[in-house]
Amino acid sequence: MATAFAEEAIKLIREAKRHADTLPPYNSECVSNVLQENLHLNGQIRKIVATQKELTQSSQSGLFDLQQQQQYMTTALMHQLAVRRNVQCLHAYHRHRMNLITDLIWDLGTTLGLPPELKDNLSPHEIQFLEGYRALVQDYKGSFLNVDLGSSLVPPRDVFVMVRVVKDCGEIMTEKGPIQLSVGTMHYLRRVDVEALITQGYLMHVG
């Protein structure tokens, strides 16, 4: 390979560290490069094992053959360690993104889903995971209708908040009935009714 082993995989880990709390676009190119490298390394390992087997069968014994076999074993071991490192980095990268996705589902709620600008950053498999996990959370929350499982564990200082609508939300249901949230309007509402919309960026807390 032109690049050092596991170099592309390390890029994924560095990217995850740079975006510890945000969800950047899925790095499909880098992931593909890591998978291709593993295919190459596994192919090289198979060739080394086959060559070593042939040398063992045809060898008449001797120190030179033993040294050659040790060289082959060392090369195969290095390739195997590189494959393992690549797999570990791939697992860490995808686990990091899955944790961010699940946190967003709990923070933003299960009704509106992710904003388009965030959803565009997901791979097709991540979107499938998001929809499946959101359905599970929604079903689970349905068992506790009197408890808001998505609310913050830190008690709010204010029961009511003043908010300005920065993205059209349409009509939402509050404790006092439905209310229309149109862009540019301001409302004094219970925090629990609009906390998810504030987190998602549809409303701005103005005081």
CB 89 within 8 A of CB 9: yes
203 confidence band (pLDDT: 50, 70, 90) = confident
Residue type, 116: P
> What is the chain's Cα-based Rg?
27
Q: What is the pLDDT of residues 93-143, one digit of tens each?
A: 999 999 999 888 877 765 556 777 788 899 999 999 988 888 888 787 776
Instruction: Lowest mean pLDDT of 24-28, 95-99, 154-158, 190-194, name the range.
Output: 154-158
Specify the pTM: 0.67
- Owner of token pair 């004094």: 188
Note the pLDDT of residue 147.
53
Burial of 102 (0-12, 13-18, 19+ CB in 10 A): middle
Instruction: Lowest mean pLDDT of 34-38, 139-143, 159-163, name the range.
Output: 139-143
Note the pLDDT of residue 125.
93
Note the pLDDT of residue 33.
96
Note the pLDDT of residue 206.
82
Q: Output 38 or 49, whichever has higher pLDDT.
A: 38
Burial of 139 (0-12, 13-18, 19+ CB in 10 A): exposed
Note the pLDDT of residue 2.
42
Q: What is the pLDDT of residues 54-100, one digit of tens each?
A: 777 666 554 456 677 778 888 899 999 999 999 999 999 999 999 99
| pLDDT over threshold 60, residue 154 | no
Report the relative pairing of strands 177-181 and 160-165 from DSSP bridges: unpaired
